């Protein structure tokens, strides 16, 4: 970049005073699927169709629908191949990044960061060629985690389990999960003798409960049953013990819909002795203080350098972003937020058309833009509602791609002394509204410093999977999604306050004085499908999917000038897949 340009960029970014400008990451309250972001999409779902709006006169080489990691990566890969291309990204939320969302709390002069959605690079070794190339090019080096993670901050704190009185008869925090022998740990829990014995046996077990079967027979059998059935019918665990094993904050589904085969992949209790778990390749873990939102921010800064200064993975963490520059008319890659795409269609026969028309609604008004090519990086189930010239078989396949629902709530607290007093930093809460909570992972990068002393402010992360009644994951998520979107901020705040008061209150936590901010990130369309990355198998029990029919593969076939990215295209809810699918989709446009 020339000196003059660099100077202009610095002046632009200095103008960015987040206290005066619209700055979504610092907004508290309902985020993720925030009010106003989904109304147009729900009208589409319910059958409303609009005629084309005002033609803005803009023509792009590429339009990307969806500004999540897959959409941003699609723009990035395309830009690499066609450096002069003009690109427009349309995103329905008021922030970019999709699930890779940043939450900021400002407490006096201090900024607290956390992830609103996607947390980590779970295993960089699982990243494909495209994703690795992107990381190396924008300057993300996931092997550096130990430089930034402070092991000392929570030293001496351990995992606990909170049993609530509604389900277990009394409110009780039991500490030392994983450290103490399981029999001793569960002996302290308010459970029947039978449940205590079952859980101790299960957690310690290396028994092969399907010893009579060979590997193929075992995997076939496990694919046909849920993890809950496995525990009840094969291991012989009582229902009370099963209730303690909820792990829906990890899989975003209950054990009644999680396939027993998938449960073997993460070594869920009872599966370790089956001899099916592949030894895990060396993992390379990484986490930014705001989760994978930093990756989204690095991509945006690389695509449109006038938005933020800096060029390293350290300085991105506290880099100020000028959202007003995201859609700057002079930028080669523009990001238009709060814009829901309502129609994408070829101008002519999809086989031979030269252009694609894209309509969207922004601020209640209808607009139309045009492009040579389109990447659909939005979640797949919306595509049949917005692509009017798709063949029916493809629309049907895309429509099957329903997603898991999750809530990640973040609470800024005055200090974390109550955790220190209790001796815990992470707590599973079977039966409570939030199934788990923990203190923010202590990561300091660049100018950003995580709390070190228990007297300093910190963030508590809480997890909930809204699931309604139903026999299939789709039914449960669909019903849960409705409850999730109907609930008000006050409803969530009430749950947060009462759960924190009950767990931390005895250690001195005062909800009135100690809570300094609450952000509730609702992910109505959260986890993709999900295929199990370890085994390549579908993790949820779905009737529509068979060995002969993988709807995500049918759905992602290029259609004329449209290609399909998003983690849905891989049926794997992982960052590497969102980026990998962007790489594949763009390669279909520019081989």
Ligand X SMILES: Cc1cc2nc3c(=O)[nH]c(=O)nc-3n(C[C@H](O)[C@H](O)[C@H](O)COP(=O)(O)OP(=O)(O)OC[C@H]3O[C@@H](n4cnc5c(N)ncnc54)[C@H](O)[C@@H]3O)c2cc1C
Name the residues that contact ligand X, by CB under 6 A: 41, 65-71, 90-93, 98-100, 117-120, 122, 340-341, 377-379, 382, 386, 406, 408, 523, 526-528, 566-567, 573-575, 577-578
**Residue 379 buriedness (CB in 10 A; 0-12 / 13-18 / 19+):** buried
Report helix, strand or coil for 327. coil
Task: Between 66 and 305, name the residue whose CB sits nearer to ligand X.
Answer: 66
Instruction: For ligand X, give the closer residue by CB, 509 or 552.
Output: 552
Taking the least distance from each CB to ligand X, the nearer of 361 and 429 is 361
How near is the Cβ of 402 to ligand X at its closest, in Å? 13
List strand residue ranges (DSSP E) for 328-485, in order: 333-336, 339-346, 356-362, 365-376, 406-413, 424-428, 436-439, 458-464
Query: Crossing angle of helices 69-81/129-138, nearest 10°?
Result: 80
Give the HSE-up count for residue 483: Cα atoms under 13 Å, Cβ half-sphere.
17
**Helix, strand, or coil (residue 305):** helix
36: left (phi over 0), alpha (psi -120 to 50) or beta: left
Nearest approach in angstroms of CB 214 to ligand X is 34
Task: Identify whether the C-beta of residue 278 lies closer than 8 Å to the C-beta of residue 266.
Answer: no
Please state the closest distance from residue 453 (CB atom) to ligand X, in A.
28
CB of 3 to ligand X, least distance (A): 36
Give residue 342's region: left, alpha or beta (phi > 0; psi -120 to 50).
Answer: alpha
**Could you write out the three-class secondary structure of 108-134?**
CCEEEEEECCCCCECCHHHCCHHHHHH
Angle formed at CA 68 by CA 67 and CA 70, multiple of 5 degrees: 105
Q: Hey, which residues does 47 pair with through a beta bridge? A: none
Q: Which is nearer to ligand X, 88 or 210 (CB)?
A: 88
**Nearest one of 89, 107, 113, 109 to 25, comparing CA atoms:** 113
Please tell me the distance from the alpha carbon of residue 495 to that of residue 501, in angstroms, as a whole number.
10
Contact 354, 372 (CB under 8 A): yes
Q: Give the SS3 label for residue 204.
A: helix
Q: How far is the CB of 326 from ligand X (least distance, A)?
A: 14
Q: Which residue's CB is nearer to ligand X, number 242 or number 333?
A: 333
Joined together, the tokens standing for residue 544 give: 């529509």
Distance, in Å, from the CA atom of 382 to the CA atom of 412, rounded to the nearest integer, reads 34
**Is the Cβ–Cβ distance between 64 and 582 less than 8 Å?**
no
Nearer to ligand X, 93 or 368 (CB): 93
CA distance 99 to 107: 25
The token pair at 93 is 């939320």
Based on CB atoms, which residue is closest to ligand X, 53 or 423?
A: 53
Which tokens in the block code for residue 318? 């506290």
């Amino acid at each position: 970049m020339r000196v003059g340009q660099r100077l202009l960029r610095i002046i632009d970014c200095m103008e960015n005073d987040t206290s005066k400008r619209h700055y979504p990451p610092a907004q508290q309250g309902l985020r993720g699927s925030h009010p106003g972001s989904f109304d147009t999409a729900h009208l589409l779902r319910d059958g409303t169709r609009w005629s084309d709006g005002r033609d803005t006169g803009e023509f792009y080489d590429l339009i990307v629908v969806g500004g999540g990691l897959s959409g941003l990566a699609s723009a990035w890969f395309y830009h690499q191949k066609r450096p002069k291309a003009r690109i427009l990204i349309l995103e329905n939320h008021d922030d970019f990044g999709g699930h890779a969302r940043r939450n900021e709390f400002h407490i006096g002069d201090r900024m607290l960061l956390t992830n609103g959605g996607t947390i980590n690079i779970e295993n960089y070794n699982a990243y494909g060629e495209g994703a690795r190339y992107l990381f190396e090019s924008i300057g993300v080096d996931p092997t550096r985690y130990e430089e930034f993670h402070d092991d000392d901050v929570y030293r001496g704190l351990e995992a606990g389990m909170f049993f609530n009185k509604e389900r277990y008869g009394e409110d009780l925090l039991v500490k030392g999960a994983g450290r103490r022998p399981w029999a001793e740990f569960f002996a302290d829990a308010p459970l029947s003798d039978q449940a205590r014995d079952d859980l101790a046996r299960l957690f310690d077990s290396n028994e092969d409960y399907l010893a009579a079967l060979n590997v193929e027979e075992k995997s076939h059998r496990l694919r046909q049953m849920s993890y809950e059935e496995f525990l009840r019918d094969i291991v012989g665990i009582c229902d009370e013990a099963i209730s303690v094993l909820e792990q829906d904050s990890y899989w975003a589904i209950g054990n009644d819909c999680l396939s027993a085969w998938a449960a073997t992949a993460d070594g869920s209790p009872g599966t370790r002795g089956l001899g099916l778990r592949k030894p895990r390749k060396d993992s390379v873990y990484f986490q930014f203080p705001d989760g994978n939102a930093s990756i989204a921010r690095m991509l945006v800064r690389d695509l449109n350098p006038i938005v933020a200064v800096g060029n390293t993975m350290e300085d991105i963490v506290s880099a100020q972003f000028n959202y007003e520059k995201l859609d700057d008319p002079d930028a080669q890659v523009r990001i238009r937020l709060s814009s829901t795409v309502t129609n994408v269609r070829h101008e002519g026969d999809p086989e031979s058309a030269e252009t694609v028309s894209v309509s969207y609604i922004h601020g209640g008004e209808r607009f139309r833009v045009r492009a040579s090519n389109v990447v659909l990086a939005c979640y797949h189930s919306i595509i049949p509602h917005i692509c009017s010239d798709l063949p029916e078989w493809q629309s049907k396949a895309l429509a099957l791609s329903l997603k898991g629902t999750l809530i990640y709530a973040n609470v800024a607290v005055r200090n974390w002394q109550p955790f220190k007093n209790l001796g815990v930093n992470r707590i599973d809460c079977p039966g409570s509204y939030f199934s788990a909570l923990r203190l923010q992972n202590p990561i300091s990068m660049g100018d950003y410093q995580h709390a070190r002393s228990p007297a300093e402010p910190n963030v508590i992360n809480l997890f909930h999977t809204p699931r309604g009644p139903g026999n299939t994951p789709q039914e449960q998520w669909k019903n849960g999604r409705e409850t999730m979107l109907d609930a008000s901020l006050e409803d969530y705040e009430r749950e947060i306050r009462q759960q924190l008061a009950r767990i931390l209150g005895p250690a001195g936590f005062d909800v009135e004085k100690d809570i300094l901010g609450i952000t509730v990130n609702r992910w109505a369309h959260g986890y993709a499908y999900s295929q199990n990355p370890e085994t390549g198998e579908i993790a949820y029990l779905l009737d529509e999917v068979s060995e002969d029919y993988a709807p995500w593969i049918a759905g992602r076939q290029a259609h004329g000038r449209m290609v399909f990215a998003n983690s849905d295209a891989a049926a794997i809810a992982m960052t590497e897949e969102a980026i990998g699918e962007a790489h594949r989709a763009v390669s279909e446009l520019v081989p």
